[in-house]
Amino acid sequence: MSTVVSRTSDSRSAAAGLDVAAIRAQFPILAQRVHGQPLVYLDNAATTLKPRAVIDRLHRHYAAETANIHRGVHYLSEQATEAYEQVRERVRGFLGAAAREEIIFTSGTTDSINLVAQGWATANLARGDEVVITHMEHHSNIVPWQMLAERTGAVLRVAPISDRGELEWDRFLDLLGPRTRLVAATHVCNSLGTIVPAAELVHAAHAVGARVLLDGAQAAAHLPLDVTALDVDFYCCSGHKLFGPTGTGVLYGKRELLEAMPPVRGGGDMIKSVTFARTTYADLPNKLEAGTPHIAGVIGLGAAVEWIERVGLEAIGRHEERLLDTATAALSAIDGVRLIGTAAHKSAILSFTVGDIHPHDVGTIADQEGVALRTGHHCTQPVMDRFGVPATARASFSVYNDESDVAALVRAIGRAQEMFA
């Protein structure tokens, strides 16, 4: 049970160009207590909270413009269609895509990766062809390629990571060769926070004729992106990690690849004509968006991207980097805390263990202190195996967090140590 309460803090002042107190005020969910304590939300890698601008936009859609899109000639349908397609253009600019046809709306990063695996990769890979991934991938960027290998006879190869959680670059390069058809890698590791050198990775893969898919679920809300300049072939991200609604996502793909890619799902809105003898498919992007989409969710995603652009990704990044430095120093000073993932270039994610205390117990005690952490393997079981732990506690920061949240995390860890002393 939670109750609404106002929260003030002297630390909520302008920092790194941001007025964090003013930003916090835009997130209604933060104005509450959990178990009698002010809510400290440090589970942003799992999902971000939603600003009032997104909540209000969803309400306006459902209250004033609910209709199906693309097919109606009445006023509400035209309004909804215009709002939906305006988001495609906004996302195109946000990601730096060259054309609106390169933006495909999906249900999330997982759906986007599977769309490429079942569509482009199934059509272009044969027995003995190779897909290279890294040891730090989310299950969503492992399992679809294992399934592809079972269907096609392709071979999955895994680039190792160091004790710091960084890609072992020379060994990654050794895996690339004439049979490499695709490199599928995380842009930012969700359990380690490691930022992968995306530009160098794309260049290396293209040098051997391979295509590149980047899982940007943890990157899109934290790092400025220009997929055209990056020259990446496919880029995937989720709306709910971008301060937007759940059930929304984006697949960016180079236009020539998407045009050649067979549709994975058939149904309404992805056709030009249908007879019992033959179906001809619609042009991009409709060809890859069968059925009624999550219209309200996409419109809410547009409001979220607009909100991010107003705040500024560079300012967000500077603020989060400062918080990461503060939190890393604070947790490193606690006896018994082991940080898992100490890469030189990291996003604002800290995975850790506390002595022999099970991470789930750490998370439960932290929750009683009002601190929301994520515990478990974070859908990266191979990462946990690599570091010899069954699970970690994970604190992940966003633009509405500040030093007082770091202090609350430290107190929660201390409380767990006291209880299990």
Residue 4 lies in a domain: no
Q: Are residues 413 and 333 in the same domain?
A: yes
Residue 2 lies in a domain: no
Question: Which of 286, 310, 334 finishes a domain?
Answer: 310
Number of Cβ within 10 Å of residue 178's Cβ equals 9
pLDDT single digits (tens) 175-220: 999 999 999 999 999 999 999 999 999 999 999 999 999 999 999 9
- Catalytic residue set: 379
Which of 345, 406, 399 has its CA nearest to residue 16?
Answer: 399
> Which pLDDT belongs to residue 2?
33
Whether 49 and 243 have beta carbons less than 8 Å apart is answered as: yes
Residue 227 lies in a domain: yes
Residue 44 lies in a domain: no
Question: Which of 274, 290, 310 finishes a domain?
Answer: 310
pLDDT tier at 421 (50, 70, 90 boundaries)? confident
CATH code at position 378: 3.90.1150.10
Whether 304 and 54 have beta carbons less than 8 Å apart is answered as: yes
pLDDT exceeds 80 at position 12:
no
Q: Are residues 305 and 360 in the same domain?
A: no
pLDDT single digits (tens) 220-231: 999 999 999 999
pLDDT single digits (tens) 35-77: 999 999 999 999 999 999 999 999 999 999 999 999 889 999 9
Which of 224, 193, 211 has its CA nearest to residue 256?
Answer: 211
Query: DSSP secondary structure string, 343-384?
Result: -SSB-SEEEEEETTB-HHHHHHHHHHTTEE-EEE-TT-HHHH
pLDDT exceeds 80 at position 9:
no
pLDDT exceeds 70 at position 1:
no
How far is 348 from 324, CA to CA, in rounded Å? 5
Residue 37 lies in a domain: no
How far is 111 from 106, CA to CA, in rounded Å? 6
Question: Which of 246, 280, 310 finishes a domain?
Answer: 310
Query: DSSP secondary structure string, 128-149?
Result: T-EEEEETT--GGGTHHHHHHH
pLDDT exceeds 70 at position 392:
yes
Q: Looking at residues 291-305, what average pLDDT do you find?
A: 97
As given in the structure block, the two tokens for residue 316 are: 């967000």
> Which pLDDT belongs to residue 289?
96
243, HSE (Cβ side, Cα atoms, 13 Å): 31
Residue 355 lies in a domain: yes
Q: Are residues 116 and 192 in the same domain?
A: yes
> Which pLDDT belongs to residue 13?
37
Q: Are residues 246 and 167 in the same domain?
A: yes
Domain residue limits at 204: 55-310
Rg (CA), the chain: 22
> Which pLDDT belongs to residue 71?
83
Q: Are residues 65 and 181 in the same domain?
A: yes
> Which pLDDT belongs to residue 262?
94
Q: Are residues 286 and 349 in the same domain?
A: no
Q: Residue 105's beta-bridge partner residues?
A: 250
Residue 49 lies in a domain: no
- Average pLDDT across the chain, whole number: 95
In eight-state DSSP terms, residue 167 is: B
CATH code at position 129: 3.40.640.10
Residues 6+ apart with CB under 8 A from 312: 17
pLDDT single digits (tens) 264-274: 999 999 999 99
| Helix 295-311 vs helix 313-332: crossing angle, to nearest 10 | 80
Q: Are residues 103 and 225 in the same domain?
A: yes
* Domain count within the chain: 2
> Which pLDDT belongs to residue 211?
98
Q: Are residues 348 and 274 in the same domain?
A: no
How far is 107 from 387, CA to CA, in rounded Å? 32
Q: Could you tell me where the beta strands, DSSP code E, fall in 9-154? A: 14-15, 18-19, 32-34, 37-38, 40-41, 103-106, 130-134
Amino acid at residue number 299: I
Q: Of 2-6, 15-19, 193-197, where does mean pLDDT reach its minimum?
A: 2-6
Residue 3 lies in a domain: no
Q: Are residues 338 and 353 in the same domain?
A: yes
pLDDT tier at 3 (50, 70, 90 boundaries)? very low
pLDDT tier at 255 (50, 70, 90 boundaries)? very high
Q: Are residues 246 and 212 in the same domain?
A: yes
